[in-house]
Amino acid sequence: MQRVGISRNPALDLFGQGKHGFQAGNPQAGTPATTPGFEFFNAVQEELAGLVESVGLALDPNNRTQVKSAILSLISSYAAAPGHMHSWGQLLGKPTTAIGFGITDCVTKDAQGNIGIGVTPKTWGAQYPVIQQNAKTVYAADVNSSYYGTNWYHTAGTHKRLADGFSLMYQQDSSAGKHLWKTAPTGVADAIVAWTTPMSLDVVTGILDVSVGITTATPTAGDSSTKVATTAFVQNATIGNAQTWQSFTPGTQRVVGTTYYNATNKPIAIGIGWYMSASSLYYLYVNGVIVGEAGGGSAAVRGQLFGIVPPGASYQLAVSTGSLAIEYWAELR
């Protein structure tokens, strides 16, 4: 093959240094057009004819697809020749993963069999088949439990964070028959996770336990109508629990007609023993409401008044008529 010769009035260096091409010429400017010349036509003829004849075809002036047929024949024969790879199985150095092909938005599987959706899964402990979705979400299992979690993985016998932030876990434990909800405070990537279990459900007993791992103070009575009450909260709000009967000296510590207040955070009980003269009448008030009454007829009489006083409420023993002697005054508080 050759380019147009220098003697044929070429366009000099048209395709680069020493690579001349054809030009139309300009008669008015006296610039002659390029003439291909016999040597150029002979070169083109023999290049094409030689290609056709190289595959065993005879030149046919009526067939204008012989060059195409020759090229296809050469490709086919080259691919099928011994030593030339022509099937997928024979290709060398093939990628073995989607990432190797440059495909990043796909499901991947590592050597352990763990699946990554949009991410290469972290290296987990061998007993955990796992599906990791994005940077933090995981679905895992072992011989006894299945797990759904955020921002943790298992390696070398411990749990670690996948990334910075809080860690959360929901576990279905078939060996213990429990559902477990676990949390861990915020931390940095690959730091060890220290779990607490603020809630668990026993599938055998049906008991929902929300006391495990609770570190905040027990709410006060009336704090909320939607919160779950802990055992400590219920006990603290129950009269008689962690309370004792206490005696108060009549006439000094407890006086008829004096208003007192329950300053505790639990209800208290009051028991008053009295001796009343004839035609006397007394009332026990709680927050201004009569909750007990004592009265004597034609003769003196002994008796008792009892009442419950809510937290913060006032209470008072008041005389209406006659006279009354307090024999004892006791309060459960």
CATH code of the domain covering residue 259: 2.60.120.40
Whether 284 maps to a domain, the answer reads yes
Whether 115 maps to a domain, the answer reads yes
The number of distinct structural domains making up the chain is 3
Residues 270, 197 share a domain: no
Weakest-pLDDT range from 16-20, 39-43, 141-145, 214-218? 214-218
Return d(Cα 94, Cα 144) in angstroms, integer. Answer: 39
Whether 237 maps to a domain, the answer reads no
Q: In the predicted model, what is the mean pLDDT of residues 154-178?
A: 93
Residues 63, 145 share a domain: no
Residues 198, 129 share a domain: yes
User: Does the pLDDT value for residue 315 go beyond 50?
Assistant: yes
Q: Let me know: does 102 contact 114? Beta carbons within 8 Å.
A: no
Residues 185, 122 share a domain: yes
CA distances from 278 to 215, 247, 255, 299 (A): 60, 27, 21, 4
Residues 114, 57 share a domain: no
Convert the pLDDT of each residue in 284-298 to its tens digit. Answer: 999 999 998 887 667
Q: What angle do CA 300, 256, 241 make, to 5 degrees?
A: 105
**Structural domain of residue 121, as residue ranges?**
99-209
Q: Let me know: does 181 contact 169? Beta carbons within 8 Å.
A: yes
Residues 109, 14 share a domain: no
Task: Show which of 183, 209, 235 is a domain's final residue.
Answer: 209
Whether 63 maps to a domain, the answer reads yes
Residues 253, 280 share a domain: yes
Bigger pLDDT: 229 or 23? 23
Convert the pLDDT of each residue in 219-254 to its tens digit. Answer: 565 556 556 666 677 777 788 888 999 999 999 999
Q: What is the pLDDT of residue 213?
A: 47
Residues 188, 257 share a domain: no
Residues 144, 71 share a domain: no
Out of 152-156, 210-214, 318-322, the most confident range is: 152-156
Q: In the predicted model, what is the mean pLDDT of residues 57-84?
A: 83
pTM above 0.85, yes or no: no
